[in-house]
Amino acid sequence: MKQERHILALSGGKDSAALAVYLREKYPHLDLEYVFTDSGCELPETYEYLDRIRAVLNIDITVVKPEKGWDDYWALTKVKKTPYGTFTYLPSPKNRWCTEVLKLIPYEKWINERFPGCIVHSYVGLRADEARERKGLIARNPYLKVHFPFIEDGLVYKDIRDLLVGSGLGFPAYYSWRKRSGCYFCFYQTKKEWLGLYEHHPSLYYKAMKYETYLPEKGIRFTWCQDISLGELLNKKEQFQHSGKNGVENRDLKTEYTTCKLLKTLRFLT
C-alpha cells in the first residue's frame, strides 16, 4: 500500500488561507503540509500575509521556487516576428504560460521529488460560487489527487469571510485595491487595479511597463491591457479612476500563438 500525504497549496490569497482554517477545523488530525510557490513576482502584501498565516495558525510553510525567474522565461518567448524586429510575447487570460512555468511546474516537481511513489492529496481553495472555471492544475502525476473542499461542501464567499474573520486572519492588505492574489503584473487586473498598483507600488508599475512593446504607428502592440499601454493608462488615469468599469479584459488573439506550442518549448527548457 502506497503512503499517502496531504498538501495544501497556499496562494497568499483569502481563499487558500480560509481553506487552511477550514481543514484544520474539519479534520484536526489530518497531517497537512503547507506550501507556497513563489513566482518571484509577488506583491509585498502577499509575503506579509503569509507571515501572518504562519503566526496566527502556528504552521510552517514550505516555499518552492521555479528553477528560472520570470525574466528568463519571458526572454524565451520572442516568437512574434515583424519587419521591425522580433518581440517578446506577454501572457494573457487566454494563454497563461506564466502560471504554468512559474507556479504549476515547480509545484508538481517539488511533489514528485519530495514524495516519490506516494499518493499525494493536494487541496485547492476554489469556492463553490466562483463563476470562472479555474481548475488549472491538471495532474501529470497519476498519484497526485486534486481536491476542492469548498466546491464539494458548497462554501461560498460569505463562508470564506466568516472563516477569516473568526480565525483572526482577516484579509490580505491588497484587497483594499485589488480583487485577487497574483503577480504584480497579473493580466487579470482591471485598469482601476493597475492604477491601484501605481498608487501603492509605483516601482512595480514602472517595472511592468518595461515589458510592454507599443508602436502604434507600426501596428505593434504587446501590452498587458487589450486596448491601452500602461504609459497611456497613466496619462488617462483620471478618466479610469472615475469610470464604473471594473471588468476583466480579454486579449486580442490575432497577435498570439497557440498555448500548446509555447508551453511545449518552455517545458522542455525548464
Residue-wise pLDDT tens digits, 97-113: 899 899 999 998 999 99
The answer, yes or no, to whether residue 249 has pLDDT greater than 50, is: no
Over the Cα atoms of the chain, what is R_g? 20
Give CA–CA dist 223/87, Å, rounded. 11
The confidence score (pLDDT) of residue 79 equals 59
**Per-residue model confidence (pLDDT) at position 257:** 32
- Residues 7 and 136: their CA atoms lie apart, in Å, by 17
pLDDT given at position 237: 85
Domain residues for 55?
4-269
Helices 44-57/14-26 angle, 10° precision:
10
Reported pTM: 0.82
pLDDT greater than 90 at residue 31: yes
Question: Is residue 183 pLDDT above 80, yes or no?
Answer: yes
pLDDT score recorded for residue 78: 60
* Selection from 36-40, 219-223, 235-239 with the highest mean pLDDT: 36-40
User: How many structural domains comprise the chain?
Assistant: 1
Give the tens place of pLDDT for each residue, 201-211: 999 999 999 99
Has residue 13 got a pLDDT over 50? yes
CATH number at 151 reads: 3.40.50.620
